[in-house]
């Protein structure tokens, strides 16, 4: 677990925090990682135990049961858990997405009602995507209308991570004035989930992504989160946080592949010497080390930017774009280093490659992130 790439600068993370998470990952997550992936399971027991360890409300205010730690801690937890299993780590991401949306935009009554439940292990999902709206959420088919003293929601969300076990959904729906955000308890009448034909992915398998159906779901007025019609802006703000977490997970995947390949190369003999002694192989590792370090620096810079509200879109987009692509490159390179062993179903490299590649799409595709960065570049060009 003490791999070389995790010794890089990790600012603003309290001493002992990472060690505690690492111990849990080694004992509880690593032994189950292949099974969770192979069977596409939601690891509910692990998620509840992560809550007991204090991992599910790391950056929430203390008055809501959180630890009120800087965002680098949430990112570090995702990186460490991602090292053991990216599928487990994305369970935390959907929880963090829901709490970020509520904590940043929710009314005081909504915060009081739901935020304290996260430290006790509440499982949540973040539902933007619909069958015909993925990257583009500016207009949605899911509708919310005012009726009497509440809201009524109708529609269907697709591809919802953690949806198989979520107890709370944060859902985007269209009202008369634009896209808006609602918090929807799973037990609300009219909420149902099902596993759609295209729900299972080859990577980030934490239980099949589900479709969430909303049929005349009635919500109290205060279950609108933030301002009516401002849902896209709120969603993008929330995504800046979760993209940084996703980038942390990508670094975790890359580190795990690096360490596993290094152990193989250290122990495997070819042409009367250890594979790690071939210069060509050493250069692969040198190259990967530099790229993982660079990704990691971007990730913790994005965490700093989130705490300081400082050019967040740029930092979060660059971190996820770069880290997810580095993870895919590193995982594929590690297969190569391990030869036939790298391709074996019993070896973890297939999982690393599938998880890494999937994160070039989920939570904001590389193209969409490049668009965000390009917009900044064009604005900057006008200032030169
Ligand atoms: C593992 C996983 C988990 C997910 N979990 C959730 C979840 O919990 N909640 C949720 O709401 N959604 C979830 N999604 C959906 C995810 O957010 C969408 O898949 C993603 O936003 C991309 O949308 P899409 O697949 O419909 O692709 P599309 O939007 O149809 O895009 C297709 C292709 O066109 C590119 N493209 C799109 N727009 C542009 C543009 N303007 N410029 C250049 N290229 C463009 C895309 O990058 C992609 O390559 C998940 C997806 C995955 C893979």
What is the C-alpha to C-alpha distance for residues 63 and 82, in angstroms, rounded to an integer? 28
Residue 15 lies in a domain: yes
Task: Tell me the pLDDT tens digit for each residue of 327-372.
Answer: 999 999 999 999 999 999 999 999 999 999 999 999 999 999 999 9
Domain that holds residue 153: 124-229
What is the C-alpha to C-alpha distance for residues 307 and 296, in angstroms, rounded to an integer? 17
For ligand 1, the distance from its centroid to the CA atom of residue 362, given in whole angstroms, is: 6
Residue 128 lies in a domain: yes
What is the C-alpha to C-alpha distance for residues 152 and 130, in angstroms, rounded to an integer? 18
Please state the separation of Cα 50 from the chain's center in Å.
15
Q: Give 92-140 as a DSSP string.
A: HHHHHHHHHHHHHH--HHHHHHHHHHHHTT--EEEE--BTTBSS--SS-
For ligand 1, the distance from its centroid to the CA atom of residue 366, given in whole angstroms, is: 9
Nearest to 57 by CA among 111, 128, 107: 111
Average pLDDT over residues 297-321: 95
Considering the domain architecture, whether residues 12 and 77 belong to the same structural domain is answered as yes
* CB neighbour list of residue 380: distance below 8 Å, 6 or more residues apart: none
- Helix, strand or coil for residue 230? coil
Considering the domain architecture, whether residues 354 and 280 belong to the same structural domain is answered as yes
Q: Whose CA is nearest to atom 24 of ligand 1?
A: 134
Residue 298 lies in a domain: yes
Task: Tell me the pLDDT tens digit for each residue of 196-219.
Answer: 888 889 999 999 899 999 999 999
For ligand 1, the distance from its centroid to the CA atom of residue 233, given in whole angstroms, is: 17
375 has a pLDDT exceeding 70: yes
* CB neighbour list of residue 13: distance below 8 Å, 6 or more residues apart: 70, 72, 73, 76
Pull the structure tokens for residue 126.
Answer: 């973040």
Strand pairing class (124-127; 168-175): parallel
Considering the domain architecture, whether residues 17 and 50 belong to the same structural domain is answered as yes
Atom of ligand 1 nearest to the CA of 203: 1
Considering the domain architecture, whether residues 36 and 88 belong to the same structural domain is answered as yes
Among residues 60, 93, 119, the one where a domain terminates is 119
Considering the domain architecture, whether residues 158 and 110 belong to the same structural domain is answered as no
Residue 42 lies in a domain: yes
Class of residue 374 by CB neighbours under 10 A (exposed 0-12, middle 13-18, buried 19+)? exposed
Considering the domain architecture, whether residues 114 and 142 belong to the same structural domain is answered as no
Considering the domain architecture, whether residues 102 and 163 belong to the same structural domain is answered as no
For ligand 1, the distance from its centroid to the CA atom of residue 322, given in whole angstroms, is: 17
Asked if 9 contacts 300 with a C-beta cutoff of 8 angstroms, the reply is yes
Average pLDDT over residues 148-163: 96
Asked if 269 contacts 238 with a C-beta cutoff of 8 angstroms, the reply is no
Q: Which of 129, 164, 236 to mutate to test the pocket of ligand 1 (most atoms within 8 A of CB)?
A: 129
Residue 260 lies in a domain: yes
Considering the domain architecture, whether residues 68 and 80 belong to the same structural domain is answered as yes
Residue 203 lies in a domain: yes
Considering the domain architecture, whether residues 267 and 370 belong to the same structural domain is answered as yes
1 has a pLDDT exceeding 90: no
Nearest to 236 by CA among 100, 351, 329: 100
For ligand 1, the distance from its centroid to the CA atom of residue 127, given in whole angstroms, is: 12
Pull the structure tokens for residue 304.
Answer: 């700093």
Considering the domain architecture, whether residues 361 and 238 belong to the same structural domain is answered as yes
Q: Whose CA is nearest to atom 41 of ligand 1?
A: 368
For ligand 1, the distance from its centroid to the CA atom of residue 135, given in whole angstroms, is: 5
Q: What is the largest CA-CA distance in the chain?
A: 80
For ligand 1, the distance from its centroid to the CA atom of residue 66, given in whole angstroms, is: 31
Q: Whose CA is nearest to atom 40 of ligand 1?
A: 368
Residue 78 belongs to what H/E stretch?
Answer: helix 71-84
Ligand 1: list residues with CB < 6 Å: 94, 125-129, 134-135, 159-161, 201, 204, 209, 358, 361-363, 365, 367-368, 371
CATH code of 216's domain: 2.40.110.10
What is the C-alpha to C-alpha distance for residues 63 and 116, in angstroms, rounded to an integer? 8
13 has a pLDDT exceeding 90: no
Atom of ligand 1 nearest to the CA of 125: 8
CATH code of 284's domain: 1.20.140.10
CATH code of 48's domain: 1.10.540.10
Among residues 229, 251, 279, the one where a domain terminates is 229
Considering the domain architecture, whether residues 218 and 239 belong to the same structural domain is answered as no
- The total of structural domains in the chain comes to 3
Among residues 229, 246, 268, the one where a domain terminates is 229
Pull the structure tokens for residue 280.
Answer: 């060509």
Residue 44 lies in a domain: yes
How many of the other CB atoms lie within 10 Å of CB of 134? 14
224 forms beta bridges with 182
Please state the separation of Cα 282 from the chain's center in Å.
31
Nearest to 81 by CA among 8, 31, 24, 125: 24
CA distances from 112 to 99, 102, 147 (A): 12, 10, 25
Q: Whose CA is nearest to atom 34 of ligand 1?
A: 367
Q: What is the CA radius of gyration of the chain?
A: 21
Task: Tell me the pLDDT tens digit for each residue of 40-80.
Answer: 999 999 999 999 999 999 999 999 999 999 999 999 999 99
For ligand 1, the distance from its centroid to the CA atom of residue 364, given in whole angstroms, is: 6
Task: Tell me the pLDDT tens digit for each residue of 275-286.
Answer: 999 999 999 999
Residue 384 lies in a domain: no
Considering the domain architecture, whether residues 338 and 323 belong to the same structural domain is answered as yes
């Amino acid at each position: 677990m003490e791999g070389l790439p995790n010794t890089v600068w990790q600012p603003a993370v309290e001493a002992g925090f990472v060690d505690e998470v690492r111990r849990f990952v080694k004992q509880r997550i690593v032994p189950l990682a292949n099974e969770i992936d192979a069977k596409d399971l939601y690891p509910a027991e692990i998620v509840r135990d992560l809550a007991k360890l204090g991992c599910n409300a790391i950056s929430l205010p203390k008055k809501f049961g959180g630890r009120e730690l800087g965002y680098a801690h949430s990112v570090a937890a995702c990186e460490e858990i991602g090292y053991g299993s990216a599928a487990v780590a994305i369970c935390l991401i959907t929880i963090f997405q829901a709490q970020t949306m509520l904590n940043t935009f929710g009314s005081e009554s909504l915060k009081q009602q739901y935020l304290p439940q996260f430290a006790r292990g509440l499982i949540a999902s973040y539902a933007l995507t619909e069958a015909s709206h993925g990257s583009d959420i500016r207009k949605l088919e899911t509708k919310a209308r005012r009726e009497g003293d509440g809201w009524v929601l109708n529609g269907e969300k697709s591809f919802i991570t953690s949806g198989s076990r979520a107890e709370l959904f944060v859902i985007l729906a269209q009202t008369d004035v634009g896209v808006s955000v609602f918090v929807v308890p799973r037990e609300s009448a009219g909420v149902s989930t099902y596993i759609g034909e295209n729900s299972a992915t080859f990577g980030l398998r934490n239980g099949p992504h589900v479709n969430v159906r909303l049929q005349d779901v009635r919500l109290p007025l205060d279950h609108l989160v933030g301002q009516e019609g401002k849902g896209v802006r709120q969603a993008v703000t929330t995504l800046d946080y979760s993209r940084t977490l996703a980038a942390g997970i990508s670094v975790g995947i890359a580190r795990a592949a690096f360490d596993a390949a290094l152990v193989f190369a250290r122990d495997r003999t070819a042409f009367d010497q250890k594979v790690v002694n071939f210069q060509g192989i050493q250069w692969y590792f040198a190259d990967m080390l530099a790229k993982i370090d660079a990704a990691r620096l971007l990730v913790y810079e994005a965490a700093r930017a989130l705490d300081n509200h400082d050019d967040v879109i740029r930092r979060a987009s660059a971190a996820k774009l770069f880290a997810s692509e580095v993870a895919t490159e590193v995982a594929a390179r590690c297969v190569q280093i391990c030869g036939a062993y790298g391709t074996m179903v019993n070896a973890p490299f297939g999982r690393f490659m599938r998880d890494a590649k999937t994160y070039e799409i989920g939570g904001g595709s590389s193209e969409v992130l490049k668009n965000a960065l390009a917009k900044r570049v064009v604005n900057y060009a006008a200032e030169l």
